[in-house]
């Protein structure tokens, strides 16, 4: 009898261990998606990615049925003929998410870009996406579509041209 009880305890522990090993340390907060107009071909998602673990991680890709392609983008400053402007491009290597820290995806900065939308982003609905991390693996999210949300003050500043003399 004791042997059966011991075997049951070992079996239960064996099944429980993989669940602990695969627990994600990534938490997605304050996510929202938007497109510029009803018939837009592209849209973007913004969020706060928190890493509650003790090991650095990195979002390396994303997928969604809402578009033909999903890319990880950022805006970088470019200066041409004394004029500084923001240019969007692919974030090579993905988004780093430090241990016990966070990475903020926001307008004018890093964001998830939906290219070739399969339908319009409708305010109040959600877009499903799978975020892929090096260590945490795949995390499925439903991102609320918010076409009315205004950018934060610092996000608005990113869009303004800078004076070439400063």
Q: Where are the domains of the chain?
A: 25-159
- DSSP conformation class of 161: P
pLDDT at 154: 53
| Average confidence (pLDDT) over 55-70 | 97
Nearest in space to 147 (alpha carbons), one of 129, 166, 122, 128:
122
Give the pTM.
0.74
Q: What is the pLDDT of residues 77-128, one digit of tens each?
A: 777 888 877 777 889 899 999 999 999 999 989 999 999 999 999 999 999 9
**Number of other residues whose CB lies within 10 A of the CB of residue 126:** 16
> How many CA atoms lie within 13 Å of 23's alpha carbon, on the beta-carbon side?
8
In the structure, what pLDDT confidence band is assigned to residue 12 with cuts at 50, 70 and 90?
very low
Residue 153 has a pLDDT of: 58
Q: Topology of 25-159 in CATH?
A: Immunoglobulin-like (2.60.40)
Lowest average pLDDT, out of 64-68, 70-74, 95-99, 157-161, goes to: 157-161
C-alpha span between 142 and 145 (Å, rounded): 9
């Amino acid at each position: 009898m004791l042997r059966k009880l011991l075997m049951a305890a070992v079996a239960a522990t064996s099944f429980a261990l993989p669940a602990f090993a695969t627990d994600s340390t990534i938490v997605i907060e304050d996510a929202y998606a938007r497109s510029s107009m009803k018939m837009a071909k592209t849209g973007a998602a913004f969020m706060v990615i928190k890493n509650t673990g003790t090991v650095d991680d990195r979002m390396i890709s994303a997928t969604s049925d809402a578009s033909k392609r999903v890319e990880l983008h950022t805006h970088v400053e470019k200066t041409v003929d004394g004029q500084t402007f923001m240019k969007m491009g692919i974030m090579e290597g993905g988004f780093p998410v430090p241990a016990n820290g966070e990475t903020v995806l926001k307008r004018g900065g890093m964001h998830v870009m939906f290219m070739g939308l399969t339908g319009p982003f409708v305010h109040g609905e959600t877009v499903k996406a799978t975020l892929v991390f090096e260590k945490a693996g795949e995390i499925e999210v439903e991102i609320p579509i918010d076409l009315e949300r205004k950018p934060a003050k610092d996000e608005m500043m990113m869009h303004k041209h800078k004076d070439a003399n400063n």
